[in-house]
Amino acid sequence: MPELAIVALTPCGQELGARIVQALGRGDVIVPRGELRKALTDLFGTGRPLVCIMALGIVVRILGPVARAKQVDPPVVVVDEAGRFAISVLGGHVGGANALAEQVANALGAVPVITTASDALGLPSLDLIGKPWNWKIEASEALTRVSAALVRGEPIGVYQDAGRRDWSDKWPASFQPIESWPNEGPWAGMLVISDRQLPIAAIPPAVVYRPPTLVLGVGCRRGVPGSNIDAMFEAVCRAQGVSPLSLGVVATATIKADEPGLIEFAVRRGVPLRSFSLEELGSVPDLPTPSTKVKEKLGIWGVAEPAALLASGSSRLLMGKERRERITMALARREDA
């Protein structure tokens, strides 16, 4: 994350800024020497989290016209010159402004002011539920409607068939678990946590989370482009009825770990690339589709299948080895993801 910028206009504000830096162990106190509007908009444009020690109205007038969306705006917190309040202005819980306001308030002995409805009511933030475990939101367009229904106390159907189950210590009363899919109920909105491609209607609106449960074992020839690996992976997901957003790990043999196409694919998908030695791969018994060619060349019965099993910690594959254009793939599921 970019370094915290604390903008102060007066000696009193600079003193408060120094206290924040000392307490948080990070940040720079910036005293604008030129036009304040340019200084604030430039800092905002860099994506740096901002703590503005000045009047709230000044910040709203300057940054309001350049704010785009809560998913992309950096967090902005305003502190009054007396250090009594730390107000979350832009970024909310998605951008981290609410958390930053809490931190700044603790540093100054101030009162955090957070007006996000779910936070104010002690309700879970739907767009942060899976953040600690790198869950990805597939259907984010429904967030606003489902969040509004949650705040109004309307029933939210919750269906989960993959990923961690301890994501909520205490569900609100409006969260009602769904045991099977598809399910019709009196839901104002739905929360779906799955790595499968489920038929999801537009009504009621559904927020869909994809936990990183899938492990892809890959073997490939030298020089295979990352785009080819990516295209085959997409095809495998369609055939198996799983979401590519649930990919959590790519696994291969150590002798393939430096393959540029494989590295490119893992980077493109934003997942780690794990590799196993030939001895480790050879220790996996009873592969579904052992390969005589791989045995003759490497001394083991396969790469994709044992790599997927080892990286997933599972004893069975979701999909046995598939071969296409110098690439082999196998798919497994991490039950503890």
Supply the pLDDT for residue 122: 62
> Counting beta carbons within 10 angstroms of the beta carbon of residue 35, is it exposed (0 to 12), middle (13 to 18) or buried (19 or more)?
exposed
Q: Model pTM?
A: 0.72
Which of 157, 181, 210 is the endpoint of a domain? Answer: 210
Dihedral (CA of 178, 184, 187, 190) sign: positive
If we measure between CA atoms, which residue out of 80, 123, 125, 122 comes closest to residue 104? 80
Q: Per-residue pLDDT for 117 more than 90?
A: no
- Assess whether 188 and 223 both reside in one domain: no
What's the CATH code of the domain at 193?
A: 3.40.1390.40
Which of 210, 237, 255 is the endpoint of a domain? Answer: 210
Number of domains in the chain: 3
Which region among 109-123, 144-158, 226-240 has the lowest average model confidence (pLDDT)? 109-123
What's the CATH code of the domain at 323?
A: 3.30.420.180
268 falls in which pLDDT band (50, 70, 90)? very high
- Assess whether 205 and 219 both reside in one domain: no
> Counting beta carbons within 10 angstroms of the beta carbon of residue 120, is it exposed (0 to 12), middle (13 to 18) or buried (19 or more)?
exposed
Q: Give per-residue pLDDT as tens, 177-213.
A: 998 887 778 899 999 999 999 988 777 889 999 999 9
Supply the pLDDT for residue 131: 82
What's the domain range around 18?
5-115
> Counting beta carbons within 10 angstroms of the beta carbon of residue 233, is it exposed (0 to 12), middle (13 to 18) or buried (19 or more)?
buried
If we measure between CA atoms, which residue out of 169, 174, 171, 216 comes closest to residue 195? 216
Tell me whether residue 305 is in a domain: yes
Share of the chain above pLDDT 90, in %: 64
Share of the chain above pLDDT 70, in %: 95
Q: What is the mean pLDDT of the chain?
A: 89
The percent helix, strand, coil of the chain (3-state, each to 5) is 35, 25, 40
Q: Per-residue pLDDT averaged across 264-269, rounded?
A: 96
Q: Per-residue pLDDT for 97 more than 90?
A: no
Q: Per-residue pLDDT for 135 more than 90?
A: yes
Tell me the Cα Rg of the chain.
25
- Assess whether 206 and 218 both reside in one domain: no
Q: Give per-residue pLDDT as tens, 137-182.
A: 986 778 888 888 888 889 999 999 999 888 876 678 889 999 888 7
